[in-house]
Structure 1
Amino acid sequence: MSGESPEKDLNSAGSIRFGDFVYAVETGELLDETGHPVHLRHQSSEVLAFLVDRMGETVSKDDLFDNVWARKAVTDDSLSQCIADIRRALNDADHKIVQTIPKKGYRLVPTSSSGEVPPTAWLSKVARMGGPRIAVFGLIAAVALVFVAFWGLGREQHASSEDLPLPSKPSIAVLAFEDLSVGPDANYLSDAIAEGIIVDLSRYSELFVIARNSSFSFRDSTTDVSKISRALGVRYLLEGSQQKSGSQLRVTVQLIDAIEGRSLWSHVYNSDLGDVFAMQDEIVQRTVATVAQRVINFEGQKAIRSDEAKLTALLLHWKARQHLFSFTPEGNEKARLSNLAAIEADPTQPYGYVGLTFVHINRYRWGWTDEDLIVELDAARRYARKAVQVAPEYYDAHTAMAYMHIQEGELGKSVARFRKALDLNPNDTSAMAALAEALTYGGRAEEAEDLMLRVVRLDPLHQDWIKWNLAWVQWHTRNCDDALETMNGMSEIPPMAYRVLAIIQMCRGNKDEARKAVEQLISFDPEYSLQDVLHNYEGKYVIDADLERVLNDLREAGLPE
């Protein structure tokens, strides 16, 4: 006997299928449908390999820290980034492949297998139980599959005549928070927190938010979340609880997809009651920023996989956002087409015009076009004006116009317009991050860094472009060690972001690493040069020395003239 378990022997050969992807067990590579390796950061690959080795089992965070990081001091965020990286590589937006088991860990569930590897590791355990047990297990599995099929195909038709249909917008209800404290003031503070979240979520015109009276009517109810969602006609529920102990308060919040019956996000806030109003505002702002972006991003990922003919203008716009954030010419073109479809679906809505503003700005800034660059800038300006004209009270329309002003070198107008967007929606972290860019060009990098750190605090589940922006700002403040750590926190560095990585490495004195970053940039665009950088920043920097520092660092790192 070799001493290895039968399960380990089974996992030593063959391949495992995850949707359109295949994991080659022998080489430890994740392959796409064409057989090409899918890029994963080293640590993410290690996490995936460990989950594959224990496929079908619930693997705790401690197990992953002990085996992947070898007990090195790392934060939960490092693991979260790896899990997000794996899910992104597998197109697992629904978390059906890499499942989160609340308070326990993660479980990897493949779709099918080939070679010698069974569909899941737990099947090999069942096989060792013996024939009768397999028969019973097979019957249970068959019943489960029938149930899943019925639920998946029929959930749109299962509602009773009293159930409300889902609105066209992503819909959410904030339930009354459960107060686990005792005393005469029970429920008052929890109601204030929940009501504050309702008010601030309502600022997002993309969301359909149930009013307080209806959502609070389920207080002390034992009704399950699926019934509440049907009664209110919403997909998402935010529930929470609070408990006071002396001068300390613990507030727990959880975002639930009631249709799928799973938790999308949860967080625990521990605060001092010394300044109760500041504490309340902090919890409300951080929760709203996270929940709103979580729902928006989740809906956008679903939209990519949906039938365009059935999407509203808003969902088409969100689909475009997901493509836009790939920061590639191909993604930008897909975003352009989706936003044009959004306008065609409903030209009275601002969403497509907002999206096209950013599409044409990308074409202007990065040269992703066959048109004259001035034509692209004019197109961006035209769409930004149309967005504000169609929806003067829509915060994102003003963000688009503000970003347009940055390209024109009108920093004063840009900052004022960003302030307008944030007046309309104080929790819009995307507007805050873009404002930080304008402040940096204006020679106010320290102020911009403080603002970016606030963005990260308000939106802990922020997208990678936020890290890119923060690292760029940190380079300007010469906080380059933190800038490198920020860049390394990205699940995948977009091609154009290697430009920022190069100047960060130069700032840290790592010329060899800076040259490698420039090589990555040139491999993506062989004709990219300092002239392209100059075009990208021309007329934006108030302090000439800041622009010269960028150009000199990239020149030393090997970017051609």
Structure 2
Amino acid sequence: MLPSDASKAQALDALSARERAVAEKFAAGLTYREIGKALFIAPTTVRTHLATIYEKLGVRNKIGLAAHFTDASGAPSEARLSDAAPMLAIFPIECLNSEERWRRFADGLSSDITIDLARYAGLPVIAFHTMKSLGSKPADFAADGKALGVAYIVSGQLRADDQRVRLTIELADARNGVSLWRERYDRPVEDIFALQDSLTESIINELVGSYGTLATVGRNAVRRKPPTSLRAYDCYLLAIEQHTTVSRSGTAEAIRLFSRALELDPTFANAWAELAYAYSIEACNGFGDDLPTSIENWRTAAETALRLDPSDSCAHACLVNLRACVGDLDGAERAYRCAFEYGSHHAGILPLLAGCRALVVGDPSEAIPLIERAMRLNPLAPPWYFGMQGRVLFAADRHEEAIAALRRSLPESPDVLMFLALAHAAMGETGEAARIAARLKADFPSFSVERFIAGYPVKNPDALLAIRHGAELARLP
């Protein structure tokens, strides 16, 4: 039952001015980081305020909080809650050892997973100290998940001795308790902090990303909804799926869906960043009407994403190539460093950074370790990872390996076809190179090597020379 106007006013009177400001912005759909930036406080301080606010208002979730900030019609005062992403709760990992050091390790792991999921998943995540305060037992997870108003719950168990650590992690639907994903990790005990980082990275990259468990579960649920009921986050999930196809139709549909998500929620930083990436794909593959328009749309989306979230690694990665497009290689290098700082543990960002190193700015020798790390972090590696791996290997003169990677990528992508033709030509297989070149010309008449060079853009001298030389041998358009 929603609180009456009188009870709302009485409860809100108990809040300080700062607590009320935090509560209003959180109810409106802003993230901890966005609230902190608006009020000049740290995100951790936002979390602390929210714990106090929940206690004072007597609510357990965001829906209950938002009920205190509605107008007479019952609509939220600053945002439509129906556009918000579903929430996620990570219950503290249960330690089955009696030793205190392993209990501390389990808590540290739970905290790290919570922080990284909040950073990378694009989902609101309940703060770890809130979950810790519940003191839940496994039998209570489903009930507590419902009380918190979350869509998904993550839980786990840890067993350890002096030689090995065994961790079991499970993702479940909070509404019915059905298990959606379960994984067991068995690792030797070496450096305890390195072990904690390694486990966190593995779990995050299997859960999130365009082909991760959360996105897949979310998309399957979205497809069962009528189009008129889609929220901003629903449109975002469908758009991600489309633009990882790297096709003309997929890119156009991704841009449409990202734009729709941003109509519903203009503060959705992740959607702005991915929209920038979609426009960059449009630019280098010749999918748009003209290159300058694609680049301008790319710039607007990337800069908007970074105004909303200065630590968005995808937006910084998009900015690397954008800066290079306009001749600002120093700016491109600065953007690369920012993207690496915020995205070095994110399997979905590392392939983009590998492509930047191989073709755009910096030392191309750094590209191969980046793409190999992405493959290790995400064993579900989607096809476009292999497309990036192929171009990196081509730039490193490892042509046979490049062909093997590209064959596992997206067959309808013009840039994949281009690099296949280049690699075959470099190996002296001119007949196969000419066959692929003819297909590229027939299927993608607006694509050209120079368009790719200008729109990607290719600025590393050795890569530029190799692409142009291979294009001559393969008689590419």
Task: Give 2:265's aligned residue.
Answer: 346
Contact 2:276 2:315 in 1 (8 A): no
Match of 1:373 among 286, 291, 306: 291
- Matched to 1:221, the amino acid is K
Q: CA deviation at 1:350?
A: 3.3
Equivalent position SS for 2:401: helix
Report the equivalent of 2:160.
244
Partner Cα separation in structure 2 for residue 376 and residue 220 of structure 1: 51
**Of 528, 541, 550, which aligns to 2:459?**
541
Change in Cα spacing, 1:182 to 1:165, as seen in structure 2 (3 Å) is same
- Secondary structure, counterpart of 1:501 in structure 2: helix
Matches within 5 A, 1:125-204: 168-181=84-97, 183-204=99-120
Structure 2 distance, partners of 1:220, 1:237, is 12
Match of 2:301 in 1: 383
Amino acid at match of 1:229: G
Aligned identity (percent) is 23
Matched, 1:332 2:251: yes
Match of 1:446 in 2: 365
Distance 1:510 1:266 in 2: 46
1:432 aligned partner: 350
Q: More strand per residue: 1 or 2?
A: 1
Q: Distance in 2 between matches of 1:230 and 1:164?
A: 12
Q: What amino acid maps onto 1:501 in structure 2?
A: L
Structure 2 counterpart of 1:557, from 468, 474, 477? 474
Q: Is the 8 A contact 2:280 2:456 kept in 1?
A: no
- Counterpart in 1 of 2:378? 459
Q: Tell me which residue corresponds to 2:10.
A: none
SS in 2 for 1:208: coil
Match of 1:398 among 316, 320, 329: 316
Superposed displacement of residue 496, structure 1: 3.4
Asked if structure 2 preserves the Cα contact closer than 8 Å seen for 1:474 and 1:482, the reply is yes
For residue 239 of structure 1, give the secondary structure of its aligned residue in structure 2: strand
Do the aligned partners of 1:415 and 1:438 also contact (CA within 8 Å) in 2?
Answer: no
The Cα of 1:182 is off from its aligned counterpart by: 5.0
- Alignment match of 1:359 (pick from 255, 262, 278): 278
Letter in 1 for 2:90: V
Once the two structures are superposed, residues 349-388 of structure 1 have per-residue CA deviations (whole angstroms, 9 ceiling, x without a partner) of: 4345434423333332222233x32233223223322333
Which residue type is aligned with residue 547 of structure 1?
L
Q: Per-residue deviation at 1:447?
A: 0.5
Cα RMSD (Å) of the superposition?
3.3
User: Which amino acid in the other structure matches residue 155 of structure 2?
Assistant: E
Instruction: Write the letter of the residue equivalent to 1:479.
Output: R
DSSP 3-state at the match of 1:460: coil
What is the CA distance between 1:314 and its match in structure 2? 3.5
- Shift of the 450–349 alpha-carbon distance from structure 1 to 2, 3 Å rule, reads same
Mapped contact 2:417–2:436 kept (Cα < 8 A): yes
Measured in 2, the distance between the counterparts of 1:352 and 1:278 equals: 32
Normalising by structure 1, report the TM-score. Answer: 0.62
Alignment counterpart, residue 192 of structure 2, candidates 276, 295, 311: 276
Instruction: Tell me by how many angstroms 1:264 deviates.
Output: 4.0
Q: CA deviation at 1:473?
A: 0.7
Give CA-to-partner distance per residue, 1:525-557, whole Å, 9 cap, x none. 14544444444456x3231x4222212323333
- What's the secondary structure of 2:169's corresponding residue? strand
Q: 1:353 to 1:195 in 2, by over 3 A?
A: closer
Gaps of 5+ in 1: 1-160
How has the CA–CA distance of structure 1 residues 492 and 170 changed in structure 2, closer, same or farther, with 3 Å as cutoff? Answer: farther
What's 1:522 paired with? 441
- In the other structure, the counterpart of 1:476 is 395
1:102-117 mapped onto 2 (5 Å cutoff): none
Structure 2 residue matching 1:187: 3-state secondary structure? helix
1:402 is aligned with what amino acid?
A: V
Greater alpha carbon shift after TM alignment, 257-266 vs 205-214: 257-266
- Count of residue correspondences: 397
Specify the code of the residue in structure 2 equivalent to 1:439. R
Give the letter aligned to residue 486 of structure 1. Answer: A
- Helix, strand or coil at the partner of 2:89: strand
CA distance 1:432–1:537, shift in 2 (3 Å)? closer
| Mean Cα deviation higher: 383-392 or 299-308 | 299-308
Q: Distance in 1 between matches of 2:180 and 2:409?
A: 20
Q: Which of 411, 416, 427 is the aligned partner of 2:329?
A: 411
Which letter does structure 2 place at the counterpart of 1:312? Answer: R
Cα shift at 1:497? 1.4
Secondary structure (helix, strand or coil) at the match of 2:88 reads strand
Unaligned runs of 5+ in 2: 1-58, 65-80
Contact 1:332 1:362 in 2 (8 A): yes
Q: 1:428 to 1:185 in 2, by over 3 A?
A: closer
1-structure distance, mates of 2:173, 2:386? 27
Q: Are residues 1:285 and 2:201 paired?
A: yes
Cα distance between partner residues in 2 of 1:410 and 1:260? 52
Give the Cα separation in 2 of the matches to 1:316 and 1:325.
15
Quick one: structure 1 residues 425 and 526, their matched pair in 2 at CA, closer, same or farther if it must change by over 3 Å? closer
State the alpha-carbon separation in 1 of the partners of residues 422 and 94 from structure 2: 50
**Structure 1 residues 407 and 236: CA distance shift in structure 2, 3 A:** farther
Conserved? CA contact 2:325–2:454, under 8 Å:
no
Contact 2:358 2:460 in 1 (8 A): no
**CA distance in 2 between partners of 1:181 and 1:202 (Å):** 28
1:124-167 CA deviation, whole Å, 9 max, x = no partner? xxxxxxxxxxxxxxxxxxxxxxxxxxxxxxxxxxxxx9998697
| Contact 1:339-1:351 at 8 Å conserved across structures | no
Local SS of the residue matching 1:427:
coil
The amino acid across from 1:429 in the alignment is: A
Partner deviation per Cα, 1:390-423 (whole Å, 9 max, x = no partner): 4445444434333422433433322322332444
Sort the Cα spacing of 1:271 and 1:309 in 2 relative to 1 into closer, same or farther, 3 A: same
Higher relative contact order (CA 8 A, sep 6+): 2
